[in-house]
A and B are shown apart, each in its own frame.
Chain A
Amino acid sequence: MTMKSSTRQVDGVTIVDLSGRITLGEGSVVLRDTVRDLLSKGQKKILLNLGDVNYIDSSGIGELVSAFTTAKNQGGELKLLNLTKKVHDLLQITKLYTVFDVKEDEAAGVKSFSK
């Protein structure tokens, strides 16, 4: 299954709902293009909803790191929401879980962004 991405605005925060696989190829490209597009439009508070992402490989992990760094370098914030167990475990073993700001509740996640 390929990856799908859709965005919505909640209180000045852009929530990106992702579903499918973030892997080498199309999945990673969709994520990269989505985040770059948002940043270019000045939408710098980004909450990536990974609740329907059932698989991620090392390229996908790299893409998450790249998105996080790119947002930060442009004065933005990128946080993760609703990790599945697989993605959670992968971020744990790669020691990235504590690097990312991970939220479990959408409303709290939106509120956590600086005003």
Chain B
Amino acid sequence: MSADRVSYTLDSTLETVNNAEETASRIAAEAGFDDEEIMKISMAVREAAVNAVLHGNAYDPSKKVTLAFERTVHDLVIVIRDQGKGLDASRIPDPLAPENLMKTSGRGIFLIRSFMDVVEIHPSQTGTELIMIKHVHGNPADPKEAPQ
């Protein structure tokens, strides 16, 4: 199995959000994903970076965001960590519920889950780790690719 891993330590700034998105787009393209999948992956990473910078680290200059990409034969694995108080995903309201539909925020995690194949959120007292996995196209482990 071949593996290729790259990791970045980033400031808690808006620039980090844009850089994370651009880096994700480049790496997804290099991994062979098509344009639509590249858009989904880069958008998921953008939303994750927004969560880390704004809601996790709250723009605190002393806190960092780490972003890692790992390419394996079957997957693109993306891990983003912040140094905030820890995101309790169970307390995030469903943005599709009628009472939440017209809210102006709260769609980030929903979009990440919509765009990636596997999403895991690991909160702790020292921050939140978000793991996002996109299966490489044609991977038999991807149920979307399995024979009907």
**A interface list, Cβ under 8 A from B:** 23-25, 57-59, 61-63, 65-66, 68-69, 86, 90, 93-96, 99
Contact = CB atoms under 8 A, between A and B. Distances in A.
Contact of B107 (A23, A66, A94): A94
| B interface, over-half SS | helix
A57 B47 CA distance: 7
A104 B108 CA distance: 27
B110 A94 contact: yes
Contacts of A69: 102, 104
B14 interface: yes
A44 to B, nearest CB: 19
Q: Which 7 A-B pairs have the closest CB atoms?
A: A62-B104, A58-B107, A66-B104, A58-B108, A62-B105, A25-B14, A95-B96
Contacts of B104: 62-63, 65-66, 69
B67 interface: no
Contacts of A95: 96, 101
A57 B50 contact: yes
Contacts of B105: 58-59, 62
A96 B47 CA distance: 18
A53 B100 CA distance: 25
Contacts, number: 46
B77 interface: no
A43 B96 CA distance: 31
A36 B65 CA distance: 34
Interface in B113-139: 114
Interface in B6-58: 14, 17, 39, 43, 46-47, 50, 54
Given A93-B114, A95-B96, A65 B50 contact: no
Nearest to B39: A86
Contacts of B68: none
A61 B100 CA distance: 13
A90 B40 CA distance: 11
13 contacts: A23-B46, A24-B14, A57-B43, A57-B46, A58-B47, A58-B50, A58-B108, A58-B111, A59-B105, A62-B104, A62-B107, A94-B96, A99-B101
B14 A65 contact: no
B17 A94 contact: no
A94 B102 contact: no
Interface in B80-119: 95-96, 101-105, 107-108, 110-111, 114
